[in-house]
Amino acid sequence: MMALYDNGTGYFRNGGGWGTAVSLAAVIRNASVSRMAGCDYVMATTCDENANAGRGQFRNEFSDDTGWWAMAWLDAYDRTGQQRYLAAAKADADHMQTFWTSECGGGIRWKEGLTYKASISQQPVHPGQRDYRRPDRRRDLPDPRAARLRLVPRQGTHRV
């Protein structure tokens, strides 16, 4: 996979935005499991080269694209403990919250300006789902949609 990474752009070739997010998450998770730090520069390069592109913090008009980025940055934070990755994940989750609609039982719209809700925007891509899989991280929040989009990093998982 690293043969497809472009150090100049901080993207994986032919991956586009969401494809790069998914690829980045795969690299981070592999590095965490294998305890290999050789690819850690990919997190920094991708963030440095692209954090201010478009709407900033890896946000765009598609909720699923933003969700993939949020998951990748939360993985990066879990791996490194660097606050900039957590800030990006939180910005993405906050952006996704703007897609919330109560229509048809509630959910996240797929694209700004549309009423369509795609399952990919709901779960398991949804960054808030991580929190629900970890009951020890649950907190009572007054707004149910805020609870869905809350990001809490995993404790004790920072590896370098």
Task: Give how far Cα 75 sits from Cα of 28, 129, 146, 156, Å.
Answer: 7, 13, 21, 13
Q: What is the pLDDT along the chain (160 residues), one digit of tens a residue?
A: 899 999 999 999 988 889 999 999 999 999 989 988 888 999 999 999 999 988 889 899 988 899 899 999 999 999 999 999 999 998 998 898 888 888 888 888 889 988 888 777 765 444 554 553 334 444 443 344 444 445 444 555 544 4
Domain boundaries, the chain: 2-149
Which CATH architecture best describes the domain 2-149? Alpha/alpha barrel (1.50)
